[in-house]
Structure 1
């Protein structure tokens, strides 16, 4: 009998906590519509310093989502262009 009462108390406590979580969620987290769209690869290509900061934030875990991939793509493309330019150098015509 005591075990049945304990199970009932646990189930009720979980139900109350679950319901409270749904009510408090808008207060503790941003609403789905308020999330800004991730910046595109073109933005990061034009702002390489910002891209490097974003990639550092991704590694630390403070930045998440598509911006990590976009920033990394921009950095890889810029480094590729730099390496190609260094390899080819300036050739006389």
Structure 2
């Protein structure tokens, strides 16, 4: 029975692109492949380079109007920027 399940799952993963091609799957979900790629959350490095936008996203997350991975990335970038600013002030630079 276990062998049958393994063979069935393996066949499903192998045959999925044949059964439902990527183009047809995108049409069913209503998203184009580029729309899914652009919907990925921006990283901490992006927000470190754009601190104003990071603060804006952090404010939106606090209000509850934004969610997801961008909230954590923006908050991390803001915390790091503030830490660097405090360190420079402490060191007298």
What are the superposed Cα offsets for residues 8-58 of structure 1, whole Å, 9 maximum, x if unpaired? Answer: xxxxxxxxxxxxxxxxxxxxxx75x74400000000000000001100110
Gaps of at least 5 residues in structure 1 are 1-29
Cα root mean square deviation, aligned: 2.3
TM-score scaled by length of structure 2: 0.59
Instruction: Tell me the residue number matched to 2:73.
Output: 70
Gaps of at least 5 residues in structure 2 are 1-29
Total equivalences in the alignment: 63
Q: Higher Cα Rg: structure 1 or 2?
A: 1
TM-score scaled by length of structure 1: 0.59
In structure 1, distance between residues paired with 2:61 and 2:79 = 15
Q: Secondary structure at the match of 2:65?
A: coil
State yes or no: 1:81 paired with 2:89. Answer: no
State yes or no: 1:43 paired with 2:64. Answer: no
Q: How big is the shift at 1:60?
A: 1.0
- Runs of 4+ aligned residues of structure 1 deviating over 4 Å after TM superposition are none
